[in-house]
């Protein structure tokens, strides 16, 4: 068994996300992992001055796998994702110790997030990156639509109220995420306050 091959793991996961995820995952679709969370994790790691290739490999692989559990079950995503990582990563040259860390990084993304080290903080912040972005309203509505498709219909008035409570109670864990996203997150809270007021 050779060294860990992220590129092959990426092809495997991207292929499964693209072909096996339900089309009604409007928020947690392939785009969330491949175009939101993985790039956000890499960006936050760079801002946190993490240059160690071994650490970056663990972070990127966990970000890649963190939502693959949705191919099997909507409610138990993280434990399933951790199991799939354990089952498949040896094939791509990952060691048992690497897989242990990656599984921990996947599991810590479950809400409420409780990270214990910098890598765990980064993946948690990357997973909720959209809370502090200008496309927050769009991503929020896609999550509302997804929940409705899975039997959790939440009226608009209740939805915006819940979103405001969530944003007000949320704090990014890393200095990098706070400096990058806190100002826009405050704007998003003001948007929600005006939405609720009307």
Q: Render pLDDT for 60-96 as a digit per residue (tens, 0 to 9).
A: 999 999 999 999 999 899 999 999 999 999 999 999 9
Averaged pLDDT of the chain: 96
42, exposed or middle or buried, with CB in 10 Å at 0-12, 13-18, 19+? middle
pTM here? Answer: 0.95
**Residue 198 confidence (pLDDT):** 82
**Residue 3 confidence (pLDDT):** 87
Ranges of H-type helices in the chain = 6-20, 30-31, 38-47, 53-65, 77-88, 96-107, 118-127, 136-149, 156-169, 175-197
CA distance linking residue 28 with residue 32, whole number of Å: 5
Mind listing the pLDDT tens digit for each residue in 116-143?
999 999 999 999 999 999 999 999 999 9
Tokens 């109220």 label which residue?
Answer: 161
CA distance linking residue 189 with residue 54, whole number of Å: 37
45, exposed or middle or buried, with CB in 10 Å at 0-12, 13-18, 19+? buried
Answer yes or no: is pLDDT of 1 > 50.
no
Mind listing the pLDDT tens digit for each residue in 3-29?
889 999 999 999 999 999 999 999 999
CA distance linking residue 128 with residue 167, whole number of Å: 10
CA distance linking residue 119 with residue 126, whole number of Å: 10
Band of residue 157 on the pLDDT scale cut at 50, 70, 90: confident
Mind listing the pLDDT tens digit for each residue in 136-151?
999 999 999 999 999 9
CA distance linking residue 69 with residue 53, whole number of Å: 26
């Amino acid at each position: 068994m050779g060294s860990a091959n992220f590129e092959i793991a990426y092809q495997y996961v991207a292929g499964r996300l693209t072909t096996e995820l339900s089309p009604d995952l409007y928020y947690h679709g392939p785009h969330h992992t491949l175009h939101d969370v993985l790039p956000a994790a890499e960006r936050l790691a760079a801002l946190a001055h993490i240059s160690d290739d071994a650490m970056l490999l663990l972070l990127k692989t966990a970000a890649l796998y963190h939502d693959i559990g949705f191919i099997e079950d909507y409610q138990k995503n993280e434990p399933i994702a951790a199991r799939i990582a354990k089952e498949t990563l040896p094939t791509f040259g990952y060691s048992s110790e690497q897989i242990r860390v990656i599984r921990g990084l996947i599991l810590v993304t479950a809400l409420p997030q409780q990270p214990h080290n910098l890598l765990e903080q980064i993946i948690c912040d990357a997973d909720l990156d959209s809370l502090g972005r200008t496309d927050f309203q769009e991503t929020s509505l896609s999550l509302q639509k997804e929940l409705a498709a899975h039997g959790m219909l939440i009226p608009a008035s209740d939805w915006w109220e819940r979103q405001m409570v969530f944003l007000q109670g949320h704090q990014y864990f890393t200095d990098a995420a706070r400096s990058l996203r806190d100002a826009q997150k405050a704007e998003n809270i003001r948007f929600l306050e005006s939405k609720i007021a009307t």
